[in-house]
A and B are shown apart, each in its own frame.
Chain A
Amino acid sequence: MAFFPHLLLATLEGLVTSAVLALTALGLSLVFGVMRIVNVAHGEFFMLGAVLAWAITITLTGHPALGFAVALVLSPLIVGGIAWIAERLVLRRLEYNPEATIVATIGLLYIIQQLALTFYGPEARPVAPPFSYRIQLPWFGYSGYKLSIIAASALLLLATWFVLTRTRIGLVMRATQYDRETALAFGIPVGRVYGAVFALGAMLAAVAAVLIVPIQQAHYLMGLDPLLLSFIVVIIGGLGSLRGTVVAALLIGVSDGIISVFFSPTLAKIIATLVVALVLVFRPQGLFGTATK
């Protein structure tokens, strides 16, 4: 294939990756930013979202779009509920001690993975896309659904941005993130805010997974890669910065796509990872953050 079509394709692919990554990472960023904890189970919430999407679409008959629409609403709600329970039962009792939380969320990761394996099984299972339209470009074909993911993700990101900056809920969250003690003194129920933030973070991961599952598949071990990538995005973007998270997701997704044009696949992955690592080495506070702590 000629160079420019190849580059175009790689960029499109990068954008799709970025779109999903931005949503997943935003969830992690909220939890990280507001609660100051490392949630190792974040990827498992992603996986759970995909697995539930499969279960929901398989239960509902009729046009695939119907099942998909229901999954898009129901799956994040269930995942959010599970996260909320985990937060109330375990993390709250640990008083958000950072180290204890790591162990607890690793425990949670094992539990969720095992439950998925037991009740869902070890197979990779596909979910039918709500619509399948193949766009034929002069050089190659491309999935219309993939392009719609970019749009859907952008809408969801805008909605999240609106909630965080224009509503009372968002104000309370930001206040808690800014200064927990003062927020408490002003009568903000910090405990309940934490529960809500943890649930919301998980829901964002689940929604990203529902979007991606028609082009990938649900599998009980699918959570690891989104977890690692989300961590990278959150730190590169700067803690608690929505804009930074989106830019970092774009940086990582698109550079991964473009670098793949020039090198053999494994070497491309090595270089892309190294580039991002070096960005952080020479800009330790992230792209938009003030000094991280």
Chain B
Amino acid sequence: MTRLMPVIHIVLLALVIAAPFLLPDYRSSLSALWILIIVALTWDLTGGQMGYNSLGNIFFYGTGMYVAAVITIGMAYNVGEYTDAAGGGIFAFTPTQYFMGFGFGLIGAGLFCAACAFIIGSVTFSLRGPYFAIGTLGVAIAAGELVSNWEWVGGGQGISMPNYPGEQERLFTYFSFATVGVVLYIFLRWLYTTRFAAAMNAIRDDEEKAEAMGIHTLRYKLVAWAIAAFFVGIVGAIEAFQALHFEPLETAYQTINLGIFMVVCVLLGGKGTLWGPIIGAIMFHVFKEITWNYFLGWQWVALGALIVVTVVYFQDGLMGWLMSKKPEWFGIRVESRDTPTAEAAE
């Protein structure tokens, strides 16, 4: 299995690169899939590996969108004038302004969101279990309401982004998402082999004991959440450019859509594994595309049913189920009943 891993990874990478060319009509759908994969992987970083179930990660997504917009527009014009409901002037963007905005917007969104995670986390991480979930959800909802009344960024009107200067916009967005996704995967693959991950798992398994062993739990929790926020912020920023226009409550801080979807993806695939969130995101995306296209009107009912079935019957998700059925696939050696150990015990 381990010898096969490099081959599998090369095949996967080739698939990632070839996908938009093999399925040119599904480029935007593939981009949407990358969003799900990235937010699910980052959600699992705190939710699955550390046991802190945040319902507020969508805060970083929305904030990433707004930070990218403000940076892009702010580098070329006065943001308040650009978003003024009364219009006035023509605000066009040159390709240089666009790509400068894109670059700085992404970096700025990531860093700003990571900083936000430190600040918000230092308050919310004193909460545990459902209180942490509700606390973070409250942050996301409040942020949406605040932004929707903040005139400088357009308030309830939302913000329009400049159009992509060129023809291959779909490929550009796809590869932006894919790059972030691949980098995140490689990073997490490495991270989960370090002592840092062991400490996160210790916090999940028993926070008191972890603390007693000398782990500075708050520091680990903050860093983990900041890493998640960094990537979610960048994804939000790319989505801002992709969406062209977004408004605060339904697109940016969409707590009931993407904010919940990311949790569902992880639950479907399996918490606390590297591949669980990815597989869960793919399953969820396919499920969503099918129900939203063919069962329109029933899509929310179907989604609700999916959540109930997963939570009741497959609490460990697909990966957890596989792990209990085929543990040898995961390098777990199970000794059969008639092994010498059993005899030795007699």
Mutual binders A and B? no
B interface list, Cβ under 8 A from A: none
A interface list, Cβ under 8 A from B: none
